[in-house]
Amino acid sequence: MSSRHLGIGLLGVGVVGGGVAQILPGKATQLAARAGIELRLVRALVRDPAKERTRGATLPPLGTDGAAVVDDPAVQVVVEVLGGEQPALDLIRRALRAGKHVVTANKEVIAKHGAELFAIAQQHGVALQFEASVGGGIPVIAVFQHDLAANWVSRIAAIINGTTNYILSRMASEGADFGDALADAQALGYAEADPTADVDAYDPCYKLAILASLAFGEEVRPEGVHREGIRSLSRRDFAFARSLGYAIKLLAIARRRADGIEARVHPVMLPASKMLAKVDGVFNAIEVEADLVGTALLYGQGAGSLPTASAIVADVIAIADALARGDRPRTPIPPSSRARLVQIESIDSRYYLRLSVPDKPGVLAAIAAVFGRNAISIASVQQPEQTPEDPEAELVIMTHRASEAGMQATIAQLSGLDVSPRVQTVLRIED
């Protein structure tokens, strides 16, 4: 390291990289005081160097060769904010093997390849920091790595996808349909043109895998996280949820059990009085239950240029600070083993079901009999009055606590009934 500055190679100058390129020169004096050394952008990788880039960032030379950024001898820290699995993964590997410290916002790479990358970083005595990969500007990775280190974490429940939380909030507050709320989120830049990663819940699965791995000290693989998105929710569900005193949220839940770890992302009904039920719009929140702190809630902006760049720059400062003191920055600890994930069928929950049923005598009794056969006790049934021209009635059933396996059998058997009810929505109730 030059004694006067720390050289940073920036992979990506998009939403987050642009924020980093704005903060580093814009707050140079403050950051140098915190880091003990000047932080200097050396060069950056983009796809298209000719693209117009605004927002007051002072940009270093831009190029299209990622290896040239990583291999530049003036670069000591590589900041990866490209997104996606490749070429980000190969460039991170290359940087670590070359003895460079890496800071990344890439949840997909960390969730899928974290264990391998942590081991490479450890072998080469370099840091691999990823605070920005979950919760954007909310300090959450460091909280699990350091602040909760004395705790035994038993449960995480988190709203960690701002796009879907925005869509669900619009559906709740304005009675909007999913398609309209999604189009609105896209127009505002909260959702991508291809919204799959968000609305089908891949993104929060990656984030939950990262958090659960840190919290429980074992590798939670993202493909082992049970995943359900929000596409099938209707504004009718929001109307019923509200009348019953609940909010609908896409929740990421991880829980320690005697037989393994439960990790799931799906929409839930939350009692309206719960803190997480009040997290609206693009905001994120992570609730942690642990033996010493009890319950803690982290809340803030889970995405956006400057909030996310804030997390990146903090990671860079931590590395710079250690180097400036002549220490080795902290290397990541690879998980000791792979977690045993329990199947969704093994959970217990209360359930909300919305059914469309033909308006005929005996239908309710036939449906109730299916629940009874599967040992599911019904807590309440609502059937709003229908208009004479409507051939179908709507039935909303809330159950007492029941097994997921029993609920899945119930749903399968309902569709086999002669009266052929259509199960429109099933939601787990997270009390």
Ligand X SMILES: NC(=O)c1ccc[n+]([C@@H]2O[C@H](COP(=O)([O-])OP(=O)(O)OC[C@H]3O[C@@H](n4cnc5c(N)ncnc54)[C@H](OP(=O)(O)O)[C@@H]3O)[C@@H](O)[C@H]2O)c1
Structure tokens at 336: 């000791």
What kind and span of H or E run contains 246?
strand 246-257
Which range, of 10-18, 35-43, 207-215, 336-344, touches ligand X by CB under 6 A?
A: 10-18
Residue of the chain from 169, 308, 331, 410 that contacts ligand X (CB under 6 A) = 308
User: Is 207 an annotated catalytic residue?
Assistant: yes
Q: 């208009």: which residue's tokens?
A: 387
> Which residue, 304 or 406, is less far from ligand X as judged by CB?
304
Spatial separation of the C-alpha atoms in residues 106 and 314, rounded to whole Å: 16
Instruction: For ligand X, give the closer residue by CB, 166 or 246.
Output: 166
Q: Considering the complex, state which of residue 250 and residue 367 has its C-beta at the smaller distance from ligand X.
A: 250
Which of 7, 136 has the CB closer to ligand X? 136
Contact between 137 and ligand X by CB under 6 A: the answer reads: no
Q: Which residue is nearest to ligand X (CB)?
A: 14
- Stretch touching ligand X by CB under 6 A, among 77-85, 267-275, 340-348, 366-374: 77-85
Separation between Cα atoms, residue 130 and residue 137, nearest integer Å: 12
The correct pick among 20, 35, 82, 182 for binding ligand X (CB under 6 A) is 82
Question: Distance between terminal CA atoms of the chain?
Answer: 53
Taking CB under 6 A as the criterion, the residue among 106, 161, 164, 213 binding ligand X is 106
* 229 part of the interface to ligand X, by CB under 6 A: no
In the set 105, 211, 230, 233, which binds ligand X (CB under 6 A)?
A: 105
In whole angstroms, give the CA distance from residue 50 to residue 177.
40
| Angle, helix 305-324 to helix 28-35, in steps of 10 degrees | 40
Quote the least distance from Cβ 69 to ligand X, whole Å: 10
* Distance in Å, CB of 397 to ligand X, minimum: 39
Minimum Å distance from CB 196 to ligand X? 14
Q: Is 92 in the site for ligand X (CB under 6 A)?
A: no
Interaction of residue 161 with ligand X, rule CB under 6 A: no
How many Å apart are CA 277 and CA 309, to the nearest integer?
27
Residue 207 or 256: which CB sits closer to ligand X? Answer: 207
Interface of this chain with ligand X, residues 246 to 305, rule: CB under 6 A = 303-304
Cβ burial of 108 (10 Å; 0-12, 13-18, 19+) is: buried
Q: In whole angstroms, what is the distance from residue 412 CA to residue 261 CA?
A: 27
Is the Cβ of residue 166 or residue 371 nearer to ligand X in the bound state?
166
Task: Please give the Cα distance from 194 to 347 (Å, whole number).
Answer: 32
Strands (DSSP E) contained in 258-347 are 260-271, 283-290, 294-301
Measured distance CA(94)–CA(109) in Å, rounded: 14
Residues 31-50 that bind ligand X (CB under 6 A): 45-48
Residue 17 in contact with ligand X, rule: CB under 6 A: yes
Residue number with CB closer to ligand X (193 or 292): 193
Match 């400062």 to its residue by tokens: 317
Decide: 309 and 16 in contact? Cβ < 8 Å: yes
Alpha helices for 126-234 (secondary structure H): 141-142, 162-174, 178-187, 196-199, 202-216
What number of chain residues touch ligand X (CB under 6 A)? 23
Q: Which stretch binds ligand X (CB under 6 A): 90-98, 101-109, 237-245, 257-265?
A: 101-109
Task: Give me the least distance between CB of 139 and ligand X, in Å please.
Answer: 13
| Binds ligand X by CB under 6 A, chosen from 12, 195, 335, 421 | 12
Which amino acid would we find at residue 390? D
Choose, by CB under 6 A, the member of 25, 36, 87, 260 that binds ligand X: 87
Nearer to ligand X, 100 or 255 (CB): 100
Interface pick for ligand X out of 7, 9, 60, 83 (rule CB under 6 A): 83
The nearest distance, CB 46 to ligand X, in angstroms, is 4
The C-alpha atoms of residue 54 and residue 36 are separated, in whole angstroms, by 29
Pick from 163, 222, 172: nearest CA to 194? 163
Smallest gap from residue 300 Cβ to ligand X (A):
12
In the complex, what is the shortest distance from the CB of residue 298 to ligand X, in angstroms, rounded to a whole number? 15
- Burial of residue 71 (CB within 10 Å: 0-12, 13-18, 19+) is middle
Active-site entry in 100, 112, 207, 249: 207
Instruction: For residues 318 and 57, give the distance between their C-alpha atoms in angstroms, rounded to a whole number.
Output: 22
> Cα torsion at 412, 414, 420, 425 (round to 10°)?
-80
Cα–Cα dist 255/286, whole Å: 13
The catalytic site residues sit at 207
Positions in the binding site for ligand X (CB under 6 A)? 12-17, 45-48, 51, 81-83, 87, 105-107, 132, 136, 303-304, 308
